Amino acid sequence: MKVAVLVHQAEEGGYWAEVPAIPGCATQGETFEELLHNLYEAVEGCLAVPLNGHELSPQDRFIEIAV
Protein backbone atom coordinates (compact mmCIF):
# COMPACT_ATOMS: atom_id res chain seq x y z
CA MET A 1 0.00 0.00 0.00
CA LYS A 2 1.24 3.48 -0.79
CA VAL A 3 -0.12 6.59 0.90
CA ALA A 4 0.61 10.24 0.27
CA VAL A 5 2.14 12.07 3.23
CA LEU A 6 2.45 15.84 3.73
CA VAL A 7 5.70 16.66 5.55
CA HIS A 8 6.07 20.04 7.25
CA GLN A 9 9.00 21.68 8.99
CA ALA A 10 7.99 22.59 12.52
CA GLU A 11 8.60 26.18 13.62
CA GLU A 12 10.26 24.98 16.83
CA GLY A 13 12.50 22.57 14.89
CA GLY A 14 12.05 19.08 13.57
CA TYR A 15 9.24 17.89 11.35
CA TRP A 16 5.61 16.90 11.51
CA ALA A 17 3.57 14.99 8.96
CA GLU A 18 -0.03 14.19 8.17
CA VAL A 19 -1.65 11.49 6.05
CA PRO A 20 -4.62 13.11 4.27
CA ALA A 21 -6.17 9.76 3.27
CA ILE A 22 -6.41 8.71 6.94
CA PRO A 23 -8.24 11.36 8.99
CA GLY A 24 -6.47 12.12 12.25
CA CYS A 25 -3.27 10.30 11.27
CA ALA A 26 -0.32 12.58 12.05
CA THR A 27 3.05 12.36 13.80
CA GLN A 28 6.28 14.27 14.39
CA GLY A 29 10.00 13.76 14.74
CA GLU A 30 13.10 15.74 15.69
CA THR A 31 14.90 14.46 12.56
CA PHE A 32 13.59 13.35 9.18
CA GLU A 33 14.68 9.77 9.95
CA GLU A 34 12.76 9.81 13.25
CA LEU A 35 9.74 11.23 11.42
CA LEU A 36 9.81 8.35 8.91
CA HIS A 37 10.02 5.78 11.71
CA ASN A 38 7.12 7.44 13.51
CA LEU A 39 5.08 7.58 10.28
CA TYR A 40 5.16 3.80 9.88
CA GLU A 41 3.96 3.38 13.46
CA ALA A 42 1.28 6.07 13.08
CA VAL A 43 -0.17 4.60 9.87
CA GLU A 44 -0.16 1.09 11.33
CA GLY A 45 -1.91 2.34 14.47
CA CYS A 46 -4.49 4.35 12.53
CA LEU A 47 -5.34 1.37 10.32
CA ALA A 48 -5.50 -1.19 13.13
CA VAL A 49 -9.04 -2.35 13.73
CA PRO A 50 -9.80 -4.07 17.03
CA LEU A 51 -12.09 -7.06 16.77
CA ASN A 52 -13.46 -6.65 20.29
CA GLY A 53 -17.22 -6.78 20.28
CA HIS A 54 -17.50 -8.67 16.99
CA GLU A 55 -19.09 -12.06 17.29
CA LEU A 56 -17.80 -14.61 14.79
CA SER A 57 -19.65 -17.74 13.85
CA PRO A 58 -17.79 -20.92 12.85
CA GLN A 59 -18.41 -19.98 9.19
CA ASP A 60 -16.80 -16.52 9.55
CA ARG A 61 -13.17 -15.88 8.68
CA PHE A 62 -10.78 -13.08 9.59
CA ILE A 63 -8.21 -12.33 6.91
CA GLU A 64 -5.68 -9.57 6.22
CA ILE A 65 -4.93 -8.32 2.72
CA ALA A 66 -2.20 -6.07 1.35
CA VAL A 67 -3.26 -3.36 -1.08
Q: What is the pLDDT of residue 62?
A: 77
CATH number at residue 13: 3.30.160.250
Q: Do residues 14 and 31 make contact, with C-beta atoms less than 8 angstroms apart?
A: yes
Which residues are CB-contacts of 24 (< 8 A; sequence separation ≥ 6)? 46
Q: What is the pLDDT of residue 67?
A: 66
Helix (H, G, I), strand (E, B) or coil at 46: helix
Residues of the chain short of pLDDT 50, as ranges, are none
Q: Do residues 47 and 22 make contact, with C-beta atoms less than 8 angstroms apart?
A: yes
Q: What is the pLDDT of residue 57?
A: 86
Q: What is the pTM of this model?
A: 0.74
Q: What is the pLDDT of residue 17?
A: 98
Tally Cβ neighbours within 10 Å of residue 27.
22
d(CA 17, CA 29) in angstroms, rounded, equals 9
Total structural domains in the chain?
A: 1
Residue range(s) defining the domain that contains residue 13: 1-67
